[in-house]
């Protein structure tokens, strides 16, 4: 009854530790066990058996029987880390053999085989002397053993015959070392222990296998508890520390917002803002610039604002009527500011500079302006209105179709029509000089329709600023 209470208290202690702290897998492994076993009951039998008076079948023992003292075998162990300790569960198998030899009248021997299996539950505490490479633990095991004893007469070619089976339990103080020679899931261990068997085993069932009969006072010492001390050499693995090839995961990179590009378009001479300037933005792609955005500044206001993606090369072109066009290349990357400022100062047309008026249309073979021409002429009007001292020449040109006199008169009439339109908008007549040049000043080849179309044009030239 007392032994059952002790066992119960031991298990309550172990499982109490398990549920009160974090549990983590520690190891799974095995090894080889060497031990010295004091099977005192059996070995006392050997002492009696080895006496000269022992005879078996008329044969006298001439080589004494050895003790069963050094059982060896394999060990399996499983461990869970619980706080600063380890819950260790192990199973160990051991075996040992001994024999006595006879020579008269014929040679034979009596052999004994001892087998045992031990299931143990223990709790080991980590020592303060432990390091990262070498861990030291000490603790107590409760071991349950089951042993078997076999015998055989070799001269009769017998098989092993079971003599007896017995069970026992023991309290086993032990010390455990874990050695981690390298970083990884595999490590090594060694355990020293002293297994103190609690119950006594009666080895007197050996008697019926021999002719010799023992007196009661001789057989009494055959009942004994015994125990063993030993050492285990082990190899462990923690499969949860096995590093599998990791799939490379790119770190989350913050997505940078697009850049807000803004600025002002101003007159380089007066620093006044230029309204209705055209801003064209092109993106460099596969060796060339491709237009992606076209916008304008407001009426009388020179500001603009666009949003552009990062990590690209751009070209921005700014033009306004009456001013020279300006272009600039730049690049936006991850280091560019969120708000990117870029102002443009446009110089006015200079004296002597000639500018072609785009999209000016007349009726065929006539000086009558078509309404499609008004937007471009309105730009010229605004330029003249903002430059009150500017004087210009309006020049008309034709292709080589028709005779020279006809073309000269047609170009003069068309130049006059432009002057009349501007005069009607309020520009003083003395600030404009109409002049027809006919076909005398071509800018393209008159042999093609495309060339002739380019030569039919109206220009204005700055005479005075």
Check: pTM over 0.85? Answer yes or no.
no
Find, among 285, 304, 307, the residue nearest to 296 by Cα: 304
Q: What are the distances in angstroms from CA 353 to CA 110, 279, 402? A: 131, 23, 29
CB 193 within 8 A of CB 172: yes
What value does the mean pLDDT take over residues 134-148? Answer: 90
Mean predicted confidence (pLDDT) in 210-228: 56
pLDDT at 32 (0 to 100): 93
pLDDT in tens, 21-37: 567 888 899 999 998 88
Query: Which runs of E-coded beta strand occur in 198-341?
Result: 201-202, 223-224, 227-237, 259-267, 278-285, 288-296, 303-308, 312-319, 326-332, 339-341
Q: What number of other Cβ atoms are within 10 A of residue 22's Cβ?
A: 7
Which pLDDT does position 1 carry in this prediction? 45
47 in helix, strand or coil? helix
Predicted local confidence at residue 219, as pLDDT: 54
- Is 179 within 8 Å of 225 (Cβ atoms)? no
pLDDT band at 317 (very low <50, low <70, confident <90, very high): very high
pLDDT of residue 243 exceeding 60, the answer is no
Sequence-distant (≥ 6) Cβ neighbours of residue 57 within 8 angstroms: 211
* pLDDT tens per residue across span 403-416: 999 999 999 999 99
When pLDDT is cut at 50, 70 and 90, the band that residue 292 belongs to is confident
User: What average pLDDT is seen over the chain?
Assistant: 83
Two tokens at 243? 């590093």
CA-based end-to-end distance of the chain: 124
Is the model's pLDDT at 126 over the cut of 50? Answer: yes
* Element of type H or E holding 416: helix 404-425
> What is the model's pLDDT at position 188?
93
Which pair of tokens denotes residue 281? 């933005």
Domains of the chain: 2-241 (2.40.160.20), 259-346 (2.60.40.1120), 354-464 (3.30.1330.60)
Banded pLDDT at 245 (limits 50, 70, 90): low
Nearest to 141 by CA among 160, 159, 157, 118: 118
Share of the chain above pLDDT 90, in %: 34
**Cβ atoms 170, 187 nearer than 8 A:** no
Angle at 297 between CA 293 and CA 303, to 5 degrees: 105
**What share of the chain has pLDDT > 70, as a percent?**
82
The predicted structure's pLDDT at residue 215: 44
Q: Please give the order of strands across the beta sheet that includes 288-296.
A: 288-296, 278-285, 312-319, 326-332
């Amino acid at each position: 009854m007392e032994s059952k209470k002790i066992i119960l208290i031991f298990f309550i202690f172990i499982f109490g530790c398990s549920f009160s702290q974090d549990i983590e897998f520690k190891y799974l492994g095995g090894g080889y066990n060497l031990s010295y076993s004091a099977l005192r009951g059996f070995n006392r039998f050997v002492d009696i058996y080895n006496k000269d008076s022992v005879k078996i079948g008329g044969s006298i023992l001439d080589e004494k029987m050895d003790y069963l003292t050094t059982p060896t075998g394999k060990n399996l162990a499983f461990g869970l880390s619980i706080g600063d300790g380890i819950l260790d569960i192990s199973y160990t198998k051991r075996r040992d053999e001994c024999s006595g030899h006879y020579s008269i009248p014929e040679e034979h021997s009596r052999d004994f085989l001892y087998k045992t299996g031990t299931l143990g539950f223990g709790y080991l505490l980590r020592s303060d002397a432990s390091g990262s490479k070498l861990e030291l633990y000490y603790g107590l095991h409760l071991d349950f053993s089951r042993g078997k004893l076999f015998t055989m007469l070799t001269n009769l070619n017998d098989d092993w015959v079971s003599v007896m089976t017995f069970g026992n339990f023991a309290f086993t103080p032990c010390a455990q070392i874990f050695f981690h020679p390298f970083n990884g899931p595999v490590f090594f261990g060694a355990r020293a222990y002293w297994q103190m068997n609690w119950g006594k085993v009666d080895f007197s069932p050996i008697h019926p296998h021999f002719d010799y009969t023992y007196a009661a006072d001789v057989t009494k010492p055959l009942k004994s508890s015994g125990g063993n001390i030993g050492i285990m050499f082990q190899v462990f693995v923690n499969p949860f520390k096995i590093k599998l090839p990791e799939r490379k995961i790119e770190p989350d990179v913050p997505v940078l917002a697009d850049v807000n590009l803004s600025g002002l378009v101003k007159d380089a001479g007066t620093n006044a803002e230029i309204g209705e300037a055209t801003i064209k933005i092109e993106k460099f792609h596969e060796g060339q610039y491709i237009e992606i955005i076209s916008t304008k500044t407001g009426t009388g206001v020179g500001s603009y604002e666009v949003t552009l993606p990062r990590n690209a090369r751009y070209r921005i072109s700014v033009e306004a009527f009456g001013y020279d066009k300006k272009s600039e290349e730049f690049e936006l990357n991850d280091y560019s500011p969120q708000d990117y400022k870029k102002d443009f100062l446009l110089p006015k047309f200079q004296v002597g500079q000639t500018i072609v008026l785009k999209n000016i249309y007349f009726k065929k073979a006539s000086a009558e302006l078509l309404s499609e021409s008004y937007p471009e002429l309105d730009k010229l009007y605004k330029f003249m209105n903002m430059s009150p001292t500017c004087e210009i020449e309006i020049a008309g040109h034709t292709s080589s179709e028709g005779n020279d006199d006809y073309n000269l008169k047609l170009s003069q009439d068309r130049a006059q029509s432009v002057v009349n339109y501007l005069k009607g908008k309020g520009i003083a007549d003395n600030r404009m000089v109409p002049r027809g040049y006919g076909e005398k000043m071509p800018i393209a080849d008159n042999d093609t329709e495309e060339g002739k179309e380019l030569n039919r044009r109206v220009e204005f030239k700055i005479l005075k600023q």
